[in-house]
Amino acid sequence: MKEILQILGALFALSFTGCGEKISAEIGQNAPKISAKQLDGNAFASNLMQDKAVVLAFFKNGCASCIKDLPKLNTMAKEQPDKLVVLAINALDTKEVIADMAKRFGWDSMIVLKDELAITSKRYGVAVTPTLILLDEQGIIRARIVGERPWETTEKILHKALSL
C-alpha cells in the first residue's frame, strides 16, 4: 500500500510539471517556448512576438473573469499593434468551442491558441484562469496576474510592467 501511494504521489507531482519538465516561468526569467496551435491547426509562429510586449492570457469557457477581460485585451492589441501582442491560450476546451468564443466575442486582434497537450500551461505554471503573464520586448517575464481583479488594477499592472 505504501508503494502504491508513493507511485501515485510521483505521478501527481509529474502532472504539474509537464512530465518532469522544469517550470521556468518566473518573473525576471526568459519566457518558455509556446507550444500551442492556432485554431486552423498550424503551429504558432513565435516570430509574431518579436520586438513586442506580449500578454499571455490563459482562459477557459465558463470563466466569467476571462470573458470580461479578454475583450479589453483585444482592444489594447487593436490600439497598439506595433507594440503589443495578446495571445489568448486555452488548454481545456475543444477547438470548436474556442473558435465559437472568439467569433462570438469578436476577438479579432488577439491570436487565439489551443494548448492541446497543456504543455504551454504547464511550462508557465498555470493552475487557474484567468492567468495573465506579461513579457517585455526581449521575452522576459515581467509580471503574473492570477485570478479576478478589477480591470483598472490589471490595466495599471500591464502599463507598468510593459511600458505601454
pLDDT at 1: 53
Cell of 160: 507598468
Which residue, 41, 64, 34, 42, is CA-closest to 133? 34
pLDDT of residue 4: 46
Give the contacts of 25 (CB within 8 A, at least 6 positions apart): 31, 32, 123, 124, 125, 133, 141, 144
pLDDT of 46 reads 85
111-158 tens-digit pLDDT: 999 999 999 999 999 999 999 999 999 999 999 999 999 999 999 999
Looking up cell 501515485 gives 8
* Positions in the chain short of pLDDT 50: 2-21
Q: What is the pLDDT of residue 52?
A: 93
